[in-house]
Chains A and B, each alone.
Chain A
């Protein structure tokens, strides 16, 4: 199946510049194939989106900790925020 997809892809690359015509079966097949590839890509992204988000979250947390961000806002959080209470 994979080889066939690859062959089809090569074929469509060759015919890609053929102008669109009504009832052109090659054009329709190309469109169908491109649509399927797009859907497959979207499905792959959707399937792994939560894992990617989790990995990004862990990386950001680690990056923030490494940069010492927690110490920076700790100094801000332990004093009464006059802006927050409306007199700053």
Chain B
């Protein structure tokens, strides 16, 4: 029953925030797919610019010499003739010049996707966490939610699970999809040009510096949102605390602390505000640039866990005690 309740609560979040949680990442994935297609079309090496030249469609080049292959009308007299695929350069020549080319192409798609999706989720989750514990208080819906046997602890924790767990899962699904698309596109185009499929597939995985695997990419996503958990849990706390605008509340407090730290610094008192922020942002950058959990010491994780727990406990307490319906 407990698992069923948690899954139902997670489903509720998805129903309620479908645009942010489902449509926004789908849009980003679609955008990356579009970038992939455009990149493939404009790539001199693989496909190139479509164009007509002497009755043939130049399929893979900006200049005829660079074309990997072209599609020609076998019946040169008319447009309705049978199309014929003519290889202009062989696959091996590209591989010989840059053995990592195809692998880099596929993985660069995944990296672009990771970056765009992470930015998207940062925005989506910032909006979500600011409203998650305020919106229901502002409508009479809360009487319905509160008439169900679901505790505020479950309610708040599910929102935290969404914050930490949703981006990696979405990254996994989106990366898998784009990996398949990029691989299929590369393999399809090259095999059309006469390259053996097995060789193409093999070539996609040839990279001297091993690229991050899909699981590593997802790990990066998880690491990133784990490290951002204190910020999102702070937003959740502000959402539970605010009477009107959690955005103002969540902005005013850090700015105030920063100014206070500066004033204290001016009069010779070190409040360590800047050091704490610098240490946190350094840890964030270090962990993300190395994409390794070990890049940040366990003490940092302990602090991150403690700060997150503090804000989450505060949000639960507020939901249980401060506001009456």
Bind each other: no
Which chain A residues have a beta carbon within 8 Å of chain B's beta carbons?
Answer: none
